[in-house]
Amino acid sequence: MKAIFITFNQAYYDAIISIMDRNEIKGYTYWEDVQGRGSKTGKPHYGTHAWPTKNSAIFTAVEDEKVAGFLDLLHKLDLQTEAQGLRAFAWNIEQLI
């Protein structure tokens, strides 16, 4: 299993959930409002008057055989509108209950 943490512009929420549904990735934790700065541009996403863009995050555990395809679909989504911002990070899960 891999842990996957996805941070994204809130506009991507429905598309990400659709990708998860199509790939039978069921369990996740969702944070509606997260703040940060873009890793490529450093552009802030603070949800304020000066920096109104808002981000969200999803954390999920994915079976090893689904990880590459899932990350590929997320990457393709990001490439469609790169200015929105989407990042995904994967790491090994050592134990799970």
Dist CA 76 CA 97 (whole Å): 32
Assigned CATH for 2-88: 3.30.70.120
Q: Which of 93, 9, 96 is nearest to 46 (CA)?
A: 9
pLDDT in tens, the chain (97 residues): 999 999 999 999 999 999 999 999 999 999 999 988 776 776 767 777 777 788 999 999 999 999 999 999 999 999 998 778 899 999 999 998 8
| pTM of the predicted model as reported, rounded to 2 decimal places | 0.89
Classify residue 21 by its DSSP letter: H
Length of the chain as a residue count: 97
Question: From CA 66, how far away is CA 34, in angstroms rounded?
Answer: 26
Beta strands in 22-79, from DSSP E residues, in sequence order: 29-34, 36-37, 44-45, 55-62
